[in-house]
Amino acid sequence: MKKQLLLISLAVLLAGCDEEKGPVAFTPEMASFSNEFDFDPLRGPVKDFSQTLLNEKGEVTKRVTGTMSKEGCFDTLELHDLENNNGVSLVLDANYYIEAETQEKRLRLQGKCQLAEFPSAGVTWDTDDKGFIVRASGKDMEVKYRYDSEGYPLGKSTTSKDAHLNVASTPSTDKRKKLDYTSVSTLNDKPLTKVKQVCEYDGHNNPLSCSLEIVDESVTPQVTHKFSIKNTIEYY
């Protein structure tokens, strides 16, 4: 009986340790890329993923797809804005991301696979000592990026000449549901948009599907747009 009680006690202690540990943090690459390219960051050993944004009519408006190495680098990243009929398909090639169709060198990298420079746009990125992108600068433009202690992107502030755009996100207090967030955007301190997102999650604490509501506060009366997000995620 004593042996059984000891085993039960150990199991309880171990379960308690797992609970305290919580979900894995966001990597510098995942957090930085999602902050820069405006998609939801994912946790854990992601092999490939897609995020599809649909409007109220069920029409696809935006889609992001990516494949990742076991080390957490983006091997490929495709960004498609179907509303505006534009997009880009990037492929990792040594220390550059090249455009898949033209083979043009688009983005130069630093370290293993972090953004360093967008040569044709004259933009460079700076990282902190943990490898997260914290600043981008170019001609008459500067962007500052923010993250919480788990690497979750908290938004960014963009200053260009006389315009200052600030995006501030507040995630759920539940660490396992970080993509349940509210976000406020302002332009020169005037309200621009309010965003609210609520998601369903998988066992890795990543969103499988989300509802997204965007309130345009720049017009009178305010206009509300509702979207849904469908994600597919495969892990190593």
- Indicate the pLDDT class of residue 105, thresholds 50, 70 and 90: very high
Which alpha helices (DSSP H) does the chain contain, by range?
2-21, 28-37
Structural domain includes residue 91? yes
- Express each pLDDT in 42-89 by its tens digit: 999 999 999 999 999 999 999 999 999 999 999 999 999 998 999 999
- Is the pLDDT at 201 greater than 70? The verdict is yes
Bridge pairing between strands 105-110 and 114-118: antiparallel
Structural domain includes residue 150? yes
The CATH number of residue 38's host domain is 2.40.160
- Is the pLDDT at 15 greater than 80? The verdict is no
175 and 54 in contact (C-beta within 8 Å)?
no
- Predicted pLDDT at 22: 80
- Express each pLDDT in 124-141 by its tens digit: 999 999 999 999 999 999
Structural domain includes residue 83? yes
> Which secondary-structure segment (H or E) carries 234?
strand 223-235
Structural domain includes residue 5? no
What pTM value is reported for the model?
Answer: 0.88
- Predicted pLDDT at 153: 97
Across 156-177, average pLDDT: 96
- Predicted pLDDT at 18: 47
Range of the domain at 172: 23-235
Structural domain includes residue 13? no
Structural domain includes residue 69? yes
Structural domain includes residue 191? yes
> Which secondary-structure segment (H or E) carries 171?
strand 163-171
Structural domain includes residue 14? no
Domain count, the chain: 1
